[in-house]
A and B are shown apart, each in its own frame.
Chain A
Amino acid sequence: MSAVTISNENLETIMKSKQTTARKTAANESVLIPAPDPVVVWEAAPALPVEPAKPAKPSGSSKFGLQLRLFFQWLLPPMFGMLLLLAIWTLISYQAQGLPGPVATFKSAVVVFSDPFYNKGPNDQGIGWNILASLKRVGLGFGMAAMVGIPLGFIIGRFQFMSRMVAPVISLLRPVSPLAWLPIGLLVFKAASPAAIWVIFISAIWPMIINTAVGVSKVPQDYMNVARVLNLSEWKIFTRILFPSVLPYMMTGVRLSIGVAWLVIVAAEMLTGGVGLGFWVWDEWNNLNVEHIIIAIFVVGIVGLLLEQFLLLLAKRFNYE
Chain B
Amino acid sequence: MEKPIEKYVQLENVNMRFATKNGSFEALRNIDLSVRQGEFVSIIGHSGCGKSTVLNLIAGLLQPTDGYLFCAGREIGGPGPDRAVVFQNHSLLPWLTCFENVYLAVERVFEKKETRQQMQARVTAALELVRLAHATDKRPNEISGGMKQRVGIARALAMEPKVLLLDEPFGALDALTRANLQDELMSIMAKSGCTTVMVTHDVDEAVLLSDRIVMMTNGPAAGVGEILTVDITRPRKRLELAEDAHYNHLRGEVLRFLYERHAKAA
Interface positions of A (Cβ within 8 A of B): 222-223, 225-226, 228-232, 236, 240-241, 244-245, 320-321
Contacts and interface: CB of A to CB of B under 8 A. Distances in A.
Interface of B: 59-61, 78-81, 83-85, 87, 89, 91, 93-96, 104-105, 108, 139, 141, 159
Contact of B89 (A222, A245, A321): A222
A231 B59 CA distance: 11
Among A222, A229, A230, A244, chain B packs the most CB atoms within 10 A around the CB of A229
B113 to A, nearest CB: 16
Contacts, number: 50
B59 A320 contact: no
Contacts of A236: 104, 108
Contacts of A228: 60-61, 78-79
A50 to B, nearest CB: 40
Nearest to A244: B95
Contacts of A223: 91, 93
A232 B103 CA distance: 12
A240 B104 contact: yes
Contacts of B79: 228-229, 231
B95 A320 contact: yes
B61 A229 contact: yes
A225 B95 contact: no
Nearest to B108: A230
Given A228-B79, A231-B81, A320 B94 contact: yes
A225 B87 contact: yes
Contacts of A241: 93
13 contacts: A222-B89, A222-B91, A225-B61, A228-B78, A229-B81, A229-B83, A229-B84, A230-B108, A230-B159, A231-B80, A231-B81, A231-B108, A241-B93
Contacts of B94: 320-321
A260 B261 CA distance: 65
Contacts of A321: 94, 141
Nearest to B91: A222
A225 B91 contact: yes
Closest 7 CB pairs of A and B: A320-B94, A244-B95, A222-B91, A228-B79, A229-B79, A320-B95, A230-B108
A35 to B, nearest CB: 49
A51 to B, nearest CB: 37
Given A222-B89, A223-B91, A240 B96 contact: yes
Given A223-B91, A240-B93, A232 B108 contact: yes
Contacts of B89: 222
Contacts of B61: 225, 228-229
B77 to A, nearest CB: 12
Contacts of B139: 320
Contacts of A229: 59, 61, 79-81, 83-85
A225 B61 CA distance: 8
Contact of A230 (B78, B96, B104): B104
A226 B91 contact: yes
Contacts of A226: 87, 91, 93
A228 B84 CA distance: 11
A230 B104 CA distance: 8
Contacts of B91: 222-223, 225-226
A228 B139 CA distance: 22
Contact of B105 (A222, A230, A244, A245): A230
